[in-house]
Amino acid sequence: MSQHNELGKKGEDLAASFLSEKGWNILERNWRFRRNEIDIIAFDGSTLVFTEVKSRKNNLFGEPEEAVTLAKIKRLVLAADHYIRQKRLSCEARFDVISVIGEQPPYQIKHFENAFLPPVF
């Protein structure tokens, strides 16, 4: 596995633990629809949350959350829509972003709740 993939996997593991510690119910990790992937799908109370995790060794070239582009948002929304339809869910939903900086403890974890609204296509 490349170092890049290892860092991303570690970041996703840290994010999932962070959310679990907050009492969230993790439903899925790395859920795929076609070529689109949602890193974490969980319930925060009764709200279904689709979470994108971005990890970096450091922030010398910008903050990890800045890598969530409009194109990425569109892919996340498409996958989330498919997930909701496939599972026949009827609940409030939102999109969060978690950024993780560091290769070893202490990690810097930032959670952006309601990070973006679905764009109008």
Amino acid identity, position 49: V
Q: Give the CATH number of the domain where residue 71 resides.
A: 3.40.1350.10
> Per the domain annotation, does 121 fall within a domain?
no
Largest CA distance in the chain: 43
What is the pTM for the complete model shown?
0.93
Q: Rounded to an integer, what is the distance from CA 8 to the centroid of its chain?
A: 11
Task: State whether the Cα torsion 8-9-10-16 is positive or negative.
Answer: positive
In the predicted model, residues of the chain with pLDDT beneath 50 are: 1
Task: Work out how many domains the chain is built from and give that number.
Answer: 1
User: Which pLDDT score is estimated for 5?
Assistant: 86
Contacts of 68 by beta carbon, 8 Å cutoff, 6+ apart: 52, 54, 97, 115, 116
The owner of tokens 């970041």 is 11
User: Which pLDDT score is estimated for 119?
Assistant: 80
User: Which pLDDT score is estimated for 56?
Assistant: 96
Q: Are 109 and 98 in contact (CB under 8 A)?
A: yes
Range of the domain at 13: 3-116
Q: Which residue intervals of 22-69 are DSSP H helices?
A: none
User: Which pLDDT score is estimated for 111?
Assistant: 98
